[in-house]
Structure formats: structure tokens, C-alpha cells
Structure 1
Amino acid sequence: MKSKLILVSTLVTVALTGTVLAEDASGTVTGAAGGAITGAIVGGPVGAAVGGVAGAIAGTAIDPPPARVVTYVQEQPVQNSVVVKQPIVVGKPVPQEVVLMPITEDPRYSYTIVNEQRVIVDPQTRTVVQVIQ
């Protein structure tokens, strides 16, 4: 039974590694492979499947915005900071009551000031992309 488990885990690892090498530009694929490998080690074939799904989700993590976007946000005059009770965390949405300011140089991003911190946000999903300290 143990040798069968190791064989299946190895096959999953090899299959996903080939995919990663072919499509390394995709964070989803890389995350899926890493999660599947970890899952296979911990939980065997079922762990590989579960780990692959979890890794794919983690692999789609948000890339930081371009330097020109960060510079733009840093150069904007300080406005009133909105105070929210929840922590502002990359990957989590800002509350609906927070007003987002467009970034004219790159419409894929907006910014706001929350809890005395400048925050870059994806305006379509309101997801925090970067918190500038």
C-alpha cells in the first residue's frame, strides 16, 4: 500500500512539474504544482488533489503594481484618511464605503488612504494590491 502511495505521488509530481515547466508564466500553474506536491507528501493522492486546488488559488496571488503606479500614489497630496476597523491586507477587499481615487497613468489601479496608509487597489474587485508604508 505504501509503495502504491509513493508511486501515485511521484506520478502526480512528475505530471505537474512538466506542466509548470511548460507554463511557468502562470502563477496558477506554479501554485497548483507546489500545492499538489505538498499535498501528495502529506496526504497521498487525495492530498495531491486537494493541495493542487489550494495551490492554484494561492498561485493567483496579486502581483505588485508597477513602480510608476507606486510613485504616482506616493506623490499625491495627503487627503483625509478613512478609518476602518478591519485590517487592510493585500488580497482582501476594502469596504464599500471607502472612496477609491483613479490612477490616470494606469486605469488597472486606484488608490485610497485608509488608517493613515496609502493603499493601491484593483478598482474592479476593490481588492488591496499593495499597502505603502
Structure 2
Amino acid sequence: MKMHLTTAAAGLLLFAGAGAVAAQDVVIEPEQETVIREYVHKQPLASIEVPGVKLSVGSVLPDTVELHEVPNVKYRYVVVDNQTVVVDPGTRKIVQVLQ
């Protein structure tokens, strides 16, 4: 009986952890990513510096950073340290760093 409870508890923790990770992931549909990439290519921005912010998915950009709209897409973009980042305007979290 003890073995079954331990296995069940481990499975539950694993499932809960996977759910927490999945909730943080934002998946941009391929069609939207294409629209964003084409728009960014046609509307280049000057690169800015944001001291103290690591450019990675999940990092939050401060309110002082101006986010730029991509028509018909819910995400915004900005160029930081010569890297284009796609940002969720509601949370200001980086959802993708374009290569």
C-alpha cells in the first residue's frame, strides 16, 4: 500500500510540475510568426539597451521600454541589444527572441 501511495504522489508532483511549465510557455502560431518576421524586416527599429534584463523567454521588460505594434497580431516587438524580441503587451514578458 505504501508503494502505491508513493508512486501516486510522485506521479501527481510530476504532472503538476509539467502543468506549471506548460502554463508559462507561449506558442506563437507559424502563420503569426511569419507575419511578425516579415513586418519586423520591413519596419526595422533602432536597437536599445535595457540594463539588468536578460533577453530570454519569460523575462519582463520595464514600462520604460516602448513596445511596437505588429498589425493584426496580439504581440508587440522591440529590438534590444541588436536582438528582436516578441513581447506579450499585457504582461510585458518576452515570448520569443527572433534569430
TM-score (norm 2): 0.77
Q: After TM superposition, which residue ranges in structure 1, 4 or more long, deviate above 6 angstroms? A: none
The alignment status of 1:97 with 2:64, answered yes or no, reads yes
- Identity of paired residues, percent? 27
Alignment-mate amino acid for residue 111 of structure 1: Y
Counterpart CA distance in 1 for 2:16 and 2:94 is 23
For residues 22-79 of structure 1, give each alpha carbon's deviation from its aligned partner in whole angstroms, at most 9, with x where no partner exists: xxxxxxxxxxxxxxxxxxxxx6222222222111111231103521122212321232
More helix by percentage: 1
The alignment status of 1:85 with 2:52, answered yes or no, reads yes
1:1-133 → structure 2 map (5 Å cutoff): 1=1, 4-5=3-4, 44-60=7-23, 61-65=25-29, 66=32, 67-106=34-73, 108-133=74-99
Alignment-mate amino acid for residue 116 of structure 1: N
1:12 corresponds to: none
Kindly indicate whether the alpha-carbon contact (under 8 Å) linking 1:62 and 1:91 is maintained by their aligned counterparts in 2. Answer: no
Structure 2: give runs of 5+ residues left out of the alignment.
none
For residues 70-107 of structure 1, give each alpha carbon's deviation from its aligned partner in whole angstroms, at most 9, with x where no partner exists: 2212321232423322211112322222111111231x
SS at match of 2:79: strand
Alignment-mate amino acid for residue 90 of structure 1: V
TM-score (norm 1): 0.60
How many residues are paired up?
95
